[in-house]
A and B are shown apart, each in its own frame.
Chain A
């Protein structure tokens, strides 16, 4: 058996292509909770200025990939670079929208306070919130259509509204790279529309968007690039290149029919 097994599909493209400029690149990333890797030896190079969907079946490691890339969970092995440099030096260029279920919505805080958290790097430990910064925060709420809720306690919002507040906070960060974990999970249709409009706006401004996404039917409409994952990388590329029947089969196996059926239904 010879060693030149390198494939021709998107799977094993050279690892270092475009890494230096990439807003987010991971190499050989393995994350494990316990004894079974949730993500195994994944290489990914997210393209600047593009909207990329991370797609895969339930439990395929989509969110884990994102969290490990951001340093929220610690990987077993692998490296992450952000604009060619270690992540720690680039925090200011990244904004993150976590899964809605990850926080305590009963927390005593208002919508506007949550958005102001996005300005933490500007405010520092003791800096007072100036009028201009308050304006920025309110403008971000405006962009997601939540301005009139600024004084509400966050637990009094609907799921979709909570998601929009999270997005407003990310906007307030004024970042270049936006990472979203299941932004459309459990939100109403109006919110989904509002969020996608904001994301498209960001793209038009030249920002990079990466989102974990589970609804296959909307992938071509919303995104221009796809990263297919099922523990390992299955495919990476434009929607035309990577979002193919064959790759989906590989990622979803027997579950593809069900996934598509739920899409249709």
Chain B
């Protein structure tokens, strides 16, 4: 059954939802990367919670006008309007008052959500009677979805994705360095607005599938996970899109296989698994790699310091230094240097002396900036340059 779902063989609706979720995931992953790089990941949390009063008001308005309150395009329009108002409130609070952006986000999301809940209870008691089912917008639900709704979601997903592709250049520039972007003629304000608009569009399209509480996960998690795998913006956007798309696809397919697997949470859990793997295993920025690198780096620092102390016949006090040097065979158990230790110590000190000379010499300014106490000079200079330094060292070494 899962295989059938993954290969889109579970009926038209399920197929459309899966395609929609995949497209939405790709768009959300890519857009989320721009938000994350701009350090505004949680703005999307305010946007998504702020959709609820709009959904409620749209429902009430449509019922009062004699229509069907559950008409999806109407509900989505309402949600978009109130999310935009929420977004305006966040930016007004954080620029015009002393509140920091995180506080503005929290205030807007809780107040709008509270208002939405009030409206939901109003709808529950409205005389129009029929079960509104607006609660499904909280966590998303694709069970029993209408064909028209599925089409809207698939088309919406495709549309946002197309917009992301179209806007990726200016958004990259602005997210990375707004001032530089402005100097090259990009309209920063409008690009920023477009970025927020995309986040808003993704939220609105995702309301029915993922639900408003969890849609923010689709904007944040793939982006953060992708960041572990590359330092280049273009690649991060691509990887985030891939992770988002895969999460949407696998999640929607999984959810179609069983009745009590709500789509939104499943998609988020799949994305979170991608994140966990990235956090632990990514080369470079991943945790395992980082821990190993830190330990190696610390060992290098301690050994180098120990060698310099040896060379200058100063005592070594730190336990870790002594342990590391003993293990490397540089000193004996009683702390006296071995033959190898003495040779290495002399080399370390010579290197240090060369560095000292080099850093006082304006001609070597570029190389001098590379000094970190650890890099041997041989790796930076040619043999001729070293020989020249050594000639200057000579009188001192001779003593």
Contacts and interface: CB of A to CB of B under 8 A. Distances in A.
Q: Is the interface of B mostly helix, strand, loop or mixed?
A: helix
Interface in A29-44: 30, 32, 35-37, 40-41
Contacts of A249: 360, 362
Interface in B310-351: 311-314, 317-318, 320-321, 342, 345-346, 349-350
Interface string A10-38: 01101100000000000110101001110
B318 A28 contact: yes
B297 A32 contact: yes
Interface stretch (A1-9, A123-131, A137-145, A204-212): A1-9
A5 B312 contact: yes
B311 A77 contact: no
A169 to B, nearest CB: 23
Given A3-B311, A232-B373, A77 B297 contact: no
B360 A253 contact: yes
Contact of A35 (B297, B313, B365, B396): B297
Contacts of B98: 106
Contacts of B363: 254
Contacts of A253: 359-362, 364-365, 368
B346 A250 contact: no
Contact of B360 (A4, A36, A76, A246): A246
B10 interface: no
A192 B350 CA distance: 43
A110 B365 CA distance: 47
A76 B313 contact: no
B373 A5 contact: no
A230 interface: yes
A257 B362 CA distance: 10
26 contacts: A1-B346, A3-B313, A3-B346, A6-B312, A7-B396, A11-B356, A15-B314, A27-B317, A28-B305, A32-B301, A37-B373, A40-B372, A40-B373, A41-B301, A41-B304, A76-B298, A77-B301, A77-B302, A78-B318, A230-B359, A231-B371, A231-B372, A232-B373, A246-B360, A253-B360, A253-B365
Name the 7 nearest CB pairs between A and B, nearest first. Answer: A40-B373, A254-B365, A254-B362, A250-B360, A249-B360, A41-B305, A36-B372
